[in-house]
Chain A
Amino acid sequence: MKYFLYQLKKSPLAVIGIAIILMWLVFAFIGPSIIPYTHTAMDSENQMVGPGMAGHLLGTDSLGRDILARIVYGSRSILTVALLTSIFSTFVGVVLGFSAGYFGGKADTFFLRAMDILMAIPPLVLSMVILGILGDSSIVSLTIIVSIAFVPATARVSRGVLLTEKSQEYVSAARIRGENHLYIMFVEILPNTMGPIIVEATARFAYSIMTVASLGFLGVGLQPPTPDWGMMVIENKPIIAQAPWTVLFPALAIASLVIAISIFSDFVSKVLIHER
């Protein structure tokens, strides 16, 4: 922890990143209670007004809906889905990757082949097709499907870190002490692989946001009236020439959040890998 703070002091970029993430979390929690508009309220007198005008801090869209309100409400759904996805896919990935790597042999070969096949469809295309076919995406279906699309990657990473630890002699020592497989995998090995796994999970968090936003953009993400950052970009694209703020602000919201998380993930990997 002391080392964490020491590194933080040396890296102003990481401070900014963490600050932005905290800012978004605060927005998502208390934002709706301090913003005078809701995301669906249509101010019919003020359609497509620019930022700062008529009491709309970030302007309104063609229906007169407040952009800021929509972004803040949108942050709730995207943060929820992305957080759940990164946790879920990391968890499943660790269980699968650990089991395959630990037992090796035929189980491992089967696992690798299965992951190869799953990876043969790009994750975004896979989730897009499934969501599109099923229609009517909800937070639950979005989370499950994006997680499935991410599992091959997290499982491979977990398998990789397990394999480097597995060859360590403390694992041999545990074996000839008569420990069972679960104990060796999760009590002996897991604590020593937490560094890379946390790094992977934070990176996954950033990917999830990108993927969820892209799915929203493609129209197969959360369905209206739930506000979605990606969807805001595509629905306002036709008026980009007349009202660029309607597209630019949601785009900036995505960009700031993903960049902040990526910076944070980079920083975490620097700190955790140095400590080892």
Chain B
Amino acid sequence: MKDNILEIDNLHVRFSTFDGLFSAVNNVSLELKYNESIGIIGESGCGKSTLSFTVMRYLASNAQVDGAIRFKGENLFDKSEKEMESYRGDRIAMVFQNPYSSLNPSLTIGFQLDEVSMHHQNLNKIQAREATIKALEMMNLGDPKGIARRYPHQVSGGIQQRICIAMALLCKPDLMILDEPTTALDVTTEAVILDSIKELKDKLNMSLMYISHDIGVINKVAEKIVVMYSGEIVESGPKQKIFENPSHPYTRALINCMPRGGVVKENTKLNTIPGYVRKRGADEGGCPFADRCEKRNETCESLYGTKEIGEGHFAACDRAYATDVPDTFIEKLAPKKRNVDTDFDSEKELLKIEDLHKIYGARRKVYAVNGINFDVKPHSVLGIVGESGCGKSTTGHMVSGLFKPSKGRILFDDVDVSIAWNKRDKETLKNIQLIFQNPGRSLNPSHTVEKIIGRAMQKLANINDVKERREKIIEILRKVDLGKEYLKKKPRQLSGGEQQRVAIARALSISPSLIVCDEPTSALDVSVQASVLNLLNDLQLDTHVAYMFISHDLNVINYLSDYIMVMYAGKIAEYGKRDEVMENTHHPYTEALLSAVPEVDPTKQKKIIELEGQLPDPAKKITGCPFAGRCHKQVGEICEKEYPPMVRLSEDHYYFCHIKP
């Protein structure tokens, strides 16, 4: 017991709401040793955030708690609010998901850090500021004195989060809780932050509780893993064991439904979990995963409970007992056969982009897209990848007609369509469809599914007969695996995955020849993402539509694309056939991006290329290479001064860099 810093015993957290009492955390017990890091993984709504706030004893007034949380042997539920104040920020510190809203907008950064050490360590103002500067230096922030004088809105998101972590470090806490700290950040920023968290944990002898939905991130920072589902722990154990021998069906599904380790659509169909996470009532028993589990049988209700299946390895499933070889779970589903030749070289391009520019704003200009050329072949999938602000979405929106390009041409089937939606003809509007990132926002909340899909058909496919239209809608709904009972439902009554299926059905219902998919899976949980990706792939093979697939997630892009285009600061960094870009990477930025993607296999840990600095200011026109200044391979002054030439490696693979192959 003495070597545990944190013990949670039979913790229950319930909330009473309009719909009745529901359970957010159910019978959770876990232990965390000194200087150990535990990773808590689960999809949204699984209770992982509630768990972390319960440890801080910060809960809404409609919460009912039961059980014990012992920190260094003392039960936190016995403490008064005053006593809790001396734990929070001092012995237990927390870092949140959204750094921007977690910093007070009207106080300087320095003030917000100083006050922590002034309160907990009774330092005076000058000493506190010294401690602040030290903490900021620890997070490798240049010019800490200058940063301390600024307000939060004056620094970027990545720096804001590093400031929040520095704030948590001020009192050298014994336990640090990190609640999805890198989810809102770009992957290269995430890589740098994860590295420094790991380093500081050992340096300061901290224990970590790291919460994430991303198994790759957990793999990087955690020694022990806890998998949560619908408020309960379904599996826990040392990282190695969880990855080598995932025992609970949910853990297996979770690991297998991610496109990772270079899986591509031609070889593998992604595993999926049917259904979605339900809210659980307070008195529901049995296995919470039973309704979505493929291995479910009659004992799921009666024999439910946690069992030790290896040293320190627990799972809440009786099938986990059986000598069921896990390999049979990591089954490889056969992908649909492609009946189109994957060699697109001979085809004439469907979409041709020439010198495309987009400048937003009149007085304060934002250079979003700065002159790009590429094309999309019919029936192919072009994946556009890059970090936020690289211009990938703007490009997609210009192609679909939401904005008019500032300069350059968009040729669709040899017709110039570089005009906005209100000038485009019906045929073009019908042929280019757009699927948005957030299905909840892209479907009108006051219209029914029938109206949402039907209106597109009526408007662009000229199907005016109500009966005929309804039949077509039912048919298209069936294609996206939804029954006809969905016709009269409104978006609010659907889960995120179902909403995105409706959005896909809307786009497909009028048989377009190109669909721009703008991050269509980023707002979804990984298990739902897998089924949407499978669906998109199958539908593409059926209908021969071409996709322009935009995503920040290199794994997803790699899985679905035939061609990959890497964008940086409104420019193309590298373009080519998928395998060529992934295996024969040439642009330093593509290299950095690839290295930053968290690895899911614990045996493979790769060296990260850490990018310093930030994206160039979009308000300035760049003359040199946009990546100069952050590039780990910079060759010299020429990078800053001259825009790099195109280096063509093959007909279908080129990049822009001063470094020759």
State the A residues within 8 Å of B (CB): 3, 6, 168-170, 172-179, 188, 191-192
Q: Contact check, A169 vs B436: say whether CB atoms are below 8 A apart.
A: yes
Residues of B contacting A172 with CB < 8 Å? 397, 402, 434, 436, 442
Q: Contact check, B459 vs A176: say whether CB atoms are below 8 A apart.
A: no
Q: With A177-B429, A178-B460, A179-B459 in contact, do A170 and B422 touch (Cβ < 8 Å)?
A: no
Whether B524 is near chain A, meaning CB under 8 Å from some CB there, is no
CB distance from B61 to the nearest CB of A (A): 15
Q: Contact check, B402 vs A191: say whether CB atoms are below 8 A apart.
A: no
Q: Contact check, A176 vs B445: say whether CB atoms are below 8 A apart.
A: no
Residues of A contacting B437 with CB < 8 Å? 169
Nearest to A170 among chain B residues (CB) is: B444
Whether B33 is near chain A, meaning CB under 8 Å from some CB there, is no
Residues of B contacting A188 with CB < 8 Å? 444
Residues of B contacting A170 with CB < 8 Å? 441-445
Q: How large is the interface on B (under 10, 10 to 19, 20 to 34, 35 or more residues)?
A: 20 to 34
Extra inter-chain contacts (16) besides given A173-B434, A177-B455, CB under 8 Å: A6-B18, A168-B441, A168-B442, A169-B437, A170-B441, A172-B442, A173-B442, A176-B400, A176-B421, A176-B429, A176-B432, A176-B434, A178-B421, A178-B460, A191-B444, A191-B446
Q: With A175-B402, A175-B421, A178-B424 in contact, do A169 and B459 touch (Cβ < 8 Å)?
A: no
Q: Contact check, B426 vs A178: say whether CB atoms are below 8 A apart.
A: yes
Report 13 cross-chain contacts, Cβ distance below 8 Å, ordered by A residue: A169-B441, A170-B445, A172-B402, A172-B434, A173-B443, A174-B444, A176-B421, A176-B432, A177-B456, A177-B459, A177-B460, A178-B460, A191-B446
- Determine the distance from Cα of A176 to Cα of B424 in the docked complex, in whole angstroms: 9
CB distance from B44 to the nearest CB of A (A): 20
Bits for B424-452, please: 1 = Cβ < 8 Å to A, else 0: 10100100111011100111111100000
Interface centre among B434, B446, B447, B506 (most CB of A within 10 A): B446
Residues of A contacting B400 with CB < 8 Å? 176
CB distance from B438 to the nearest CB of A (A): 6
Nearest to A274 among chain B residues (CB) is: B18
CB distance from A188 to the nearest CB of B (A): 6
Q: Which of B476-520 contact A (CB under 8 A)?
A: 506
Q: Contact check, B444 vs A178: say whether CB atoms are below 8 A apart.
A: no
Residues of B contacting A176 with CB < 8 Å? 400-402, 421, 429, 432-434
Residues of A contacting B443 with CB < 8 Å? 170, 173
Nearest to A173 among chain B residues (CB) is: B442
Nearest to B402 among chain A residues (CB) is: A172
CB distance from A10 to the nearest CB of B (A): 10
- Determine the distance from Cα of A178 to Cα of B419 in the docked complex, in whole angstroms: 13
- Determine the distance from Cα of A170 to Cα of B402 in the docked complex, in whole angstroms: 12
Residues of B contacting A173 with CB < 8 Å? 434, 436, 442-443, 506
Bits for B256-271, please: 1 = Cβ < 8 Å to A, else 0: 0000000000000000
- Determine the distance from Cα of A188 to Cα of B402 in the docked complex, in whole angstroms: 17
Residues of A contacting B455 with CB < 8 Å? 177
- Determine the distance from Cα of A168 to Cα of B432 in the docked complex, in whole angstroms: 20
Nearest to B424 among chain A residues (CB) is: A178
- Determine the distance from Cα of A178 to Cα of B421 in the docked complex, in whole angstroms: 7
- Determine the distance from Cα of A188 to Cα of B441 in the docked complex, in whole angstroms: 12
CB distance from A273 to the nearest CB of B (A): 14
Residues of B contacting A174 with CB < 8 Å? 444
- Determine the distance from Cα of A272 to Cα of B10 in the docked complex, in whole angstroms: 38
Nearest to B422 among chain A residues (CB) is: A175
- Determine the distance from Cα of A170 to Cα of B422 in the docked complex, in whole angstroms: 16
- Determine the distance from Cα of A175 to Cα of B444 in the docked complex, in whole angstroms: 13
CB distance from B401 to the nearest CB of A (A): 5
CB distance from A99 to the nearest CB of B (A): 16
Residues of A contacting B421 with CB < 8 Å? 175-176, 178
- Determine the distance from Cα of A191 to Cα of B446 in the docked complex, in whole angstroms: 6
Q: Which of B327-362 contact A (CB under 8 A)?
A: none
Q: Contact check, B436 vs A178: say whether CB atoms are below 8 A apart.
A: no
Residues of A contacting B424 with CB < 8 Å? 178
Residues of A contacting B426 with CB < 8 Å? 178
Nearest to A7 among chain B residues (CB) is: B18
Residues of B contacting A192 with CB < 8 Å? 444-446
CB distance from B440 to the nearest CB of A (A): 9
- Determine the distance from Cα of A172 to Cα of B441 in the docked complex, in whole angstroms: 10
CB distance from B441 to the nearest CB of A (A): 4
CB distance from B448 to the nearest CB of A (A): 12
Residues of B contacting A191 with CB < 8 Å? 444, 446-447
